[in-house]
């Protein structure tokens, strides 16, 4: 099946620093990738849709200047959390589409101290 990887799997950073999370489709090309955020015991919340070669589309309430998304190739999308604060601590998950199917990465746990 379609494999999606994320790096890093977990990161701890100080408040005010920026963190970059990579999402890769390993065995297929993905023109569209999605970024989600998930709080404990809750469902996935879509943050943005990332399209290769164009600007990301952000969901209402998601600050595009805080969560920078770049989709420079058909196999790589990155999410940068800029000037991270403790309230940004969460589980960030990306996904990539193959046809109508959507396949998720293993997630990145971010803890901002």
Contacts with another protein by CB under 8 A lie at 1, 4, 6, 32, 34, 42-44, 46, 49, 93, 95, 97, 100-107, 109
CB of 109 to another protein, least distance (A): 7
Residue 38 or residue 82: which is nearer to another protein going by CB?
38
Closest CA to 34 of 103, 110, 108, 111: 103
CB of 17 to another protein, least distance (A): 23
Residue 11 or residue 93: which is nearer to another protein going by CB?
93
Task: Say if strands 32-38 and 90-98 run parallel, antiparallel, or are unpaired.
Answer: antiparallel
Q: Which residues pair with 98 in a beta bridge?
A: 101
**Residue 39 burial (CB count, 10 A):** 11
CB of 52 to another protein, least distance (A): 13
């Amino acid at each position: 099946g379609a494999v999606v990887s994320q790096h890093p799997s977990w990161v701890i950073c100080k408040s005010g620093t920026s963190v970059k999370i990579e999402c890769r489709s390993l065995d297929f090309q993905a023109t569209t990738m999605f970024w989600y955020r998930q709080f404990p015991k809750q469902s996935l919340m879509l943050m943005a849709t990332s399209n290769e070669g164009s600007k990301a589309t952000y969901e209402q309430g998601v600050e595009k200047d805080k969560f920078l998304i770049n989709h420079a190739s058909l196999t790589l999308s990155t999410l940068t959390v800029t000037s991270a604060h403790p309230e940004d601590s969460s589980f960030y998950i990306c996904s990539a589409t193959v046809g109508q199917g959507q396949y998720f990465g293993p997630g990145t746990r971010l803890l901002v101290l």
